[in-house]
Each structure stands twice: as C-alpha cells, then as structure tokens.
Amino acid sequence: MSYREKDIIERVIKDFGDHHNEVLIRFETMLRKEPYLDHPRYIRCIIHQSQGSLSQLEESIEIAKQDPRDIMLYAEFIELENGNWRRVRNFNNTFERSTEDLENC
C-alpha cells in the first residue's frame, strides 16, 4: 500500500508524533474501503493538508474520497490574486523533492 513508502511514514511520524500509528491505521482502513486512493500522490496531499491535525486529516480524507483532484489542487497549487492557479508542489515526488522541477510538470 502506498502509505508505507519511506517518505510518507517519516512525514507521518514527524507531523503526528505520538499519534502516527493512529494515522497509519486510518490510511489502511481508508484504502480498504477506497482502493482508488492507493497512490502516493493522494496520500502525500492528504498528509500535507492535514498539517499534523487529526481533525484536519479526517477532513482531508473526506475531500479526497469525494474527488481526489480537489485534494491535489489544495495541496499542490496556490491561488493567485488574479484568480489563476500556480503549482508550488508536485507530490508525485517524495516530500523532500516535491518542490523540485516544477516547470516540467
């Protein structure tokens, strides 16, 4: 399962501390029910949007379940003042490399 990738586990431990096992179990449960979300990009976006909060995690999971494109938009793009969007992260890459080479996305 995609949530077991090294960078994902490291970020969950960093962001959620003592609650990291709870988060990993939540991902396992989610992916049994929603197997279409079993992609590292979706999981990284959910973690990023959660900002270390369990309640934000649940909200981000619900957004992803309704439409994974929404969680990718919120996690990888910022809205500019003119209403356009600019990509600032690419979670197809690891967390560490998510801001590299954005021109070629």
Task: Print the domain residue range for 70.
Answer: 2-104
Total structural domains within the chain: 1
Threshold 0.85, pTM exceeds: yes
Please write the tens of the pLDDT for every residue from 59-73. Answer: 999 999 999 999 999
The per-residue pLDDT for 2 is 83
Please write the tens of the pLDDT for every residue from 10-49. Answer: 999 999 999 999 999 999 999 999 999 999 999 999 999 9
- SS3 for the chain is CHHHCHHHHHHHHHHHHHHHHHHHHHHHHHHHHCHHHCCHHHHHHHHHHHCCCHHHHHHHHHHHHHCHHHHHHHHHEEECCCCCEEECCCCCCCCCCCCCCHHHC
Please write the tens of the pLDDT for every residue from 77-97. Answer: 999 999 999 999 999 999 999
